[in-house]
Amino acid sequence: MPRRKTVVIVLGIAAALLIIVAAVVVVLLLTKSSKSDVAPQNETWKNYRLSNTTLPVHYNLTVHPEIPNGVFSGHVTIELNVSEKTSVIYLHIKWLNITSTRIFDQSGNNVSLKAFAFEPNEYWVVTTDAPLVPGTHFLAIEFSGSLTTGIVGFYRSSYIDKPTKTKRFLATTKFEPTFARRAFPCFDEPNKKASYQVTVIHDSAQPTALSNSPVLSTKILPSGLIETVFARTVRMSTYLVCFIISDFDHLEQMASNNVLVRTYAPADRINNTRFALNRAADVLVAYDEYFGIPYNHSFPKLDLVAIPDFVSGAMENWGVVTFRETNIILDPTTASAQNEFQIAKIVAHELAHMWFGDYVTMDWWSDLWLNEGFANFMAYLYGMEASVPHYNPESSFLTDQLQSTMVLDARLSTHPIIVPIAHPDDINAAFDSITYGKGSSVLRMLENYLGANNFKEGIRTYFRKYQYGNARTDDLWAVLSEQTGVHVKEVMDTWTKQGGYPVVFYDAASSSVRQKQFLSNSNDNVPAEQLWNVPIAYKIGSTPNMFLFKSKTQNVSINSTANLVKLNSDGKGFYRVNYKDDHWALIITALKSTNNTLTVMDRAQLIDDSFQLALANQLNYSIPLSMIDYLSSELSNSVPWSSAISNLAYVASMLQTYNTTATDKLRAKTSYLGSAVLEKLVWNATSGDFQRRLLRPLVMRLACRTADDSINPCRKSAYYMFSEWLKDSTNAIPSDYFEAVVRIGMAQTSLTDDQWSTVWSRYIVAGPVEKLALGRALADCYNQTFLQRLVAYIL
Ligand SMILES: *[C@@H]1O[C@H](CO)[C@@H](O)[C@H](O)[C@H]1NC(C)=O
Ligand SMILES: *[C@@H]1O[C@H](CO)[C@@H](O)[C@H](O)[C@H]1NC(C)=O
Ligand SMILES: *[C@@H]1O[C@H](CO)[C@@H](O)[C@H](O)[C@H]1NC(C)=O
Ligand SMILES: *[C@@H]1O[C@H](CO)[C@@H](O)[C@H](O)[C@H]1NC(C)=O
Ligand SMILES: *[C@@H]1O[C@H](CO)[C@@H](O)[C@H](O)[C@H]1NC(C)=O
Ligand SMILES: *[C@@H]1O[C@H](CO)[C@@H](O)[C@H](O)[C@H]1NC(C)=O
Ligand SMILES: *[C@@H]1O[C@H](CO)[C@@H](O)[C@H](O)[C@H]1NC(C)=O
Ligand SMILES: *[C@@H]1O[C@H](CO)[C@@H](O)[C@H](O)[C@H]1NC(C)=O
Ligand SMILES: *[C@@H]1O[C@H](CO)[C@@H](O)[C@H](O)[C@H]1NC(C)=O
Ligand SMILES: *[C@@H]1O[C@H](CO)[C@@H](O)[C@H](O)[C@H]1NC(C)=O
Ligand SMILES: *[C@@H]1O[C@H](CO)[C@@H](O)[C@H](O)[C@H]1NC(C)=O
Ligand SMILES: *[C@@H]1O[C@H](CO)[C@@H](O)[C@H](O)[C@H]1NC(C)=O
């Protein structure tokens, strides 16, 4: 808008005068008011962290969901410990309507007060006319809310009961990290621990009520509703509270440590939770032993509940763990080795949280990795090892956790494991693969450095010291240092407080090592040089050795005239190792000789390191491509194959764009390798040990994708099986490679409309696990018409 000069100047002067006058008035008013007010009220609730002077001690919580109406109401009485005279109390709420707020003392005398919401911090603020004296006070709040605002907080879920084809409802909770405040007013930070007595009022259509503790009593109210009261819990964080109201059935097993373990699910699928039930009972007993603290010190029961709509894989509510259906329901007649692995892993992860997370909790979300890193570490190395040792779970740790995270952590965009979380809005972002994958990997490295027994003793001390409380990363390091005499913090800060990781170069001729940050893009420059304290494990013959490498370069006295030196035994460390080309040649020769001492984890790590070093321009691609020739005799474990396949997929996708000659060569090589192995494995068999069952579908997809039909029956046979299954779903494809066959079938160029539609209609009615496989297959086809239709159907 054009300005009119004269008017502007006049108006400007007038405005300036007005401002001066106003300012004088305001200053006068302010001075006056601050003199006349008795005590200015500091607006402490503007701090988005809760105060430490008002702590919850116990909650009596009653909730009443009205499932058909999609609403709930409730009331809570919180016993507070006020440690300093105060006239302000604030706690969290979100999307709750508060109908009454009351504060009273131990003799029941009410305090006169005002209460209001401060939405920016999700607070309910109560100010009292007269200050509260230090000591015990009670805060009672009545509230109501909605069950239909999403699938976190307290929400309504539903499922279709297959036999009757009717829709059934349940109400359930998911509170981590900041959603308890959507269900009831609470001090919703992990270190504000308190005990809970939960009461649920529910309709007989959902007769089964579950919460963290066992049922204390039930009665029928005059209204005909059921009132279920649960026993008082131990001290715990708000985000672990849970209540579920459903019509679910259950299976149960008394674990050998006398904990009653139950699985809950809709009646039509309850029998398919038996696998998870058995795993849970095994794992619980193993963890009791490892941690030296019996689970039943806290709760006499453990429930595992299948929730139809669930935002995460599973949630470790203490005593009542909730799962997405695919992670707990397994039909033994259609389950693949992959499905079994997934369920065994998730159960072992969640149960580890009963200690790491529930019994001892991180003080604040910036140390979330203590919960999640430990749960992953325990799941693979101890939980699954106790429950399903024949899976060889630690080897799968390499591909599932370590290697995939190392790819992310080799970018400039990475971040340290411990990130300062100032504002609560940043909490959800902390649940990423650096927290889970790198967190668990550096713990595995530390355990290897300190020794498994020392490490375990340290962990036991940590649990005794911080039981029912909170701890920070440094508290754990301090306990482990005391146990071992090692300055653990100095070593581990280099892994937890800086992003990225090093590549260690070993020069056998000069007997030296050097380190620098590993970045997968050779054009990236490190913003600042970082060094790590790298525990370097290696073997001479079969004797393990270890040294800590802290500086930029170091001479090492590895005495190996006769032995081939391979650093980072079993891929225990979170770093890569590079060698001179002649040393790599020796390694490749060793891999090809069948009597080498390289373990399966060594082999997987050599493959991944060499490909990633080549990607970063630190090694010629001829080395990894020559190394993988040895895979033609890798028949017993899927992990080296899996390492190779993900790297090959990346190389293939890059070449596809740039160089068709090279693409053809790579295709010929992978086809040869895949087919050679597939033939030896008997491609359509289901027998053999567990890792072999995992290996078959992996190699099958590789071979079928790249195969030359004239020399390889893979694709032809897969198409045949696929078409038989399309004709009649009882022509079952053996479960281990059901997904592989359907995906190969859907990827054929001649796929017809009828075939696509049959797969779609089976997807619609499939059980949760089969649904995942069919969903992937639907996305695997190449015809754009079908892909567009799929997207339209999804929307
Ligand atoms: C308000 O804050 C000021 C400065 O932080 C402090 O000196 C004063 O004691 C506080 N008053 C109350 C009532 O807490
Ligand atoms: C409360 O205490 C914790 C230490 O336990 C501290 O980190 C936090 O900053 C304190 N909160 C406030 C608001 O002072
Ligand atoms: C909770 O309820 C129990 C018994 O029902 C009672 O003894 C206790 O005082 C109550 N505590 C609070 C904080 O209301
Ligand atoms: C209240 O807190 C103080 C310290 O803040 C503590 O000494 C006392 O034991 C607590 N009382 C209760 C009942 O938890
Ligand atoms: C406190 O207030 C509640 C609710 O308004 C009332 O039922 C109760 O009688 C009051 N207690 C006393 C001691 O006045
Ligand atoms: C909460 O209050 C709002 C505004 O009064 C109302 O529209 C809403 O229905 C209430 N929700 C519940 C669950 O009571
Ligand atoms: C589950 O197993 C029980 C006992 O083996 C059997 O009675 C029941 O019919 C089965 N339920 C379903 C839905 O198959
Ligand atoms: C190196 O190994 C040789 C033969 O195994 C042995 O004789 C020699 O003492 C070793 N040297 C060191 C420094 O350990
Ligand atoms: C292992 O293989 C190497 C070379 O292939 C051979 O020299 C050596 O004797 C073999 N060792 C054993 C124990 O078979
Ligand atoms: C494509 O790859 C072949 C070897 O596979 C190589 O000889 C040729 O130079 C490559 N072409 C380009 C443009 O990089
Ligand atoms: C496996 O496939 C081969 C070749 O396609 C076929 O001859 C054989 O009967 C199949 N075996 C089984 C167990 O299906
Ligand atoms: C994709 O599928 C549609 C429907 O069957 C068919 O008409 C079309 O020719 C196919 N396109 C290609 C590229 O095969």
Find the mean pLDDT for residues 453-479. Answer: 98
Q: Give ligand 1 pocket residues (Cβ under 6 A).
A: 39, 42
Query: Residue 256 phi/psi, 5° resolution?
Result: -70, -5
Res 328 pLDDT > 70: yes
Q: Is 176 one of the annotated binding-site residues?
A: no
485 lines ligand 5 (CB under 6 A): no
pLDDT 10s digits, 211-229: 999 999 999 999 999 999 9
Helix/strand number for the chain, H first, E second: 23, 27
The per-residue pLDDT for range 102-153, each reduced to its tens digit, is: 999 999 999 999 999 999 999 999 999 999 999 999 999 999 999 999 999 9
What is the rounded CA–CA span in Å between residue 784 and residue 793? 14
d(CA 138, ligand 5 centre) in Å = 12
Strand partners, 245: 171, 209
What helix, strand, coil percent values describe the chain, rounded to 5?
A: 45, 25, 30
Measured CA to CA, the distance from residue 412 to residue 429 in angstroms comes to 18
Per-residue pLDDT for 1 more than 60?
A: no
**How far is ligand 9, taken at its centre, from the CA of residue 595, in Å?**
6
Q: Is the CB of 665 under 6 A from ligand 10?
A: yes
What letter represents residue 309's amino acid?
D
Minimum-distance ligand to the CA of 333?
7
| Two tokens, residue 151 | 């699938």
Query: Is 770 annotated in the active site?
Result: no
Q: Tokens for 686? A: 């289901």
Domain with CATH 2.60.40.1730 in the chain: 47-247
- Kindly state the helix (H) or strand (E) to which residue 63 belongs, with its residue range: strand 54-66
Query: Residue type for 441, please?
Result: S
Say how far apart CA 460 and CA 466 lie, in whole Å. 10
> Looking at residue 709, what is its pLDDT?
66
- Report residue 731 as tokens: 């022509």
Span 665-697, pLDDT tens digits: 998 898 889 888 888 887 778 888 999 999 999
The gap between the terminal CA atoms of the chain, to the nearest Å, is: 45
The preferred substitution site among 97, 144, 182 for testing ligand 6, maximizing ligand atoms within 8 Å of CB, is 97
**Separation of alpha carbons 394 and 228, rounded Å:** 43
For the chain, give the mean pLDDT: 92
Those residues with Cβ within 8 angstroms of residue 434's Cβ, 6 or more apart along the chain or in another chain: 369, 405, 408, 409, 414, 415, 416, 417, 499
User: Is any ligand 11 atom within 6 A of the Cβ of residue 717?
Assistant: yes
Q: For ligand 2, atom 3, which residue shows the shortest CA distance?
A: 52
Q: Give, using CA atoms, the residue closest to atom 7 of ligand 5.
A: 110
pLDDT band at 31; cut points 50, 70, 90 = very low
CA 792 remoteness from chain centre: 30
Side-chain half-sphere exposure of 104, counting CA atoms within 13 A: 10
CA of 541 to the centre of ligand 8 (A): 13
Q: Does ligand 5 come within 6 angstroms of the Cβ of 109?
A: yes
Residue of 176, 325, 350, 447 marked catalytic: 350
Q: How many A from CA of 509 to the centre of ligand 8?
A: 17
* Phi and psi torsions of 775, nearest 5°: -60, -45
Please state, in angstroms and rounded to a whole number, the distance separating the CA atoms of residues 793 and 770.
Answer: 18
Instruction: Check whether 372 is labelled as a binding-site residue.
Output: yes
CA 129 to the chain's CA centroid: 46
Give the confidence band of 22 by pLDDT, cuts at 50, 70, 90. low
* Parts of the chain belonging to CATH 2.60.40.1910: 501-599
Answer yes or no: is the C-beta of 274 below 6 A from any ligand 7 atom: no
What is the model's pLDDT at position 9? 40
Q: Which ligand is nearest to the CA of 557?
A: 8
> Closest Cα to residue 588, out of 579, 503, 396?
579
Q: Does the 249-337+344-354 domain belong in CATH 1.10.390.10? A: yes
Does any ligand 7 atom lie closer than 6 A to the CB of residue 268? yes
Residue-level pLDDT at 8? 39
Determine phi and psi for 30, rounding to 5 degrees.
-60, -50
* Residue 378, pLDDT score: 98
* Closest listed residue to residue 618, CA positions, set 641, 587, 584, 649: 584
Report, as an integer, the average pLDDT of 635-655.
93
Residue 24 confidence (pLDDT): 47
pLDDT, tens only, 226-281? 999 999 999 999 999 999 999 999 999 999 999 999 999 999 999 999 999 999 99
What ligand 10 atom has the least distance to the C-alpha of 659? 1
- DSSP single-letter state for residue 565: P
Report angle CA 588, 594, 596 to the nearest 5 degrees: 65
Residue 48 φ then ψ, to 5°:
-85, 0
Q: State residue 656's pLDDT score.
A: 81
Angle at 327 between CA 323 and CA 332, to 5 degrees: 130
What region does 511 belong to: left with phi over 0, alpha with psi -120 to 50, or beta?
A: left
User: Can you say how many angstroms the Cα of residue 752 is from the centroid of all Cα atoms in its chain?
Assistant: 39
pLDDT of residue 131: 95
H helices within 2-99, ranges in order? Answer: 5-36
Q: Tell me how far apart the alpha carbons of residues 399 and 191 are, in angstroms, rounded to a whole number.
A: 34
Confidence of residue 36 (pLDDT cuts 50, 70, 90): very low
Superfamily of domain 361-496: Neutral Protease Domain 2 (1.10.390.10)
Single-letter amino acid, residue 137: H
| C-alpha to C-alpha distance for 116 and 127, rounded to whole angstroms | 9
Domain(s) labelled CATH 1.10.390.10 in the chain stretch across 249-337+344-354, 361-496
Considering only CA atoms, which residue is closest to atom 14 of ligand 3?
Answer: 77
For domain 501-599, give its CATH number from 3.10.180.10, 2.30.290.10, 2.40.50.140, 2.60.40.1910.
Answer: 2.60.40.1910
Q: Are 505 and 618 in contact (CB under 8 A)?
A: no
Which of 621, 656, 661 has most ligand 10 atoms within 8 Å of its beta carbon, as the pocket-test mutant?
661
- Does 122 belong to an annotated binding site? no
**Smallest CA separation from ligand 10 atom 13, residue:** 659
- Per-residue pLDDT at 707: 65
Q: Which ligand is located closest to the Cα atom of residue 265?
A: 7
> Which whole-number Å values give the CA distances from 408 to 370, 435, 521, 613, in the listed order?
20, 12, 12, 14
pLDDT in tens, 564-609: 889 999 999 999 999 999 999 999 999 999 778 899 999 999 999 9
Cα→Cα distances 92→49, 81, 95, 98, Å: 10, 17, 10, 12
User: What CATH class does 47-247 carry?
Assistant: mainly beta
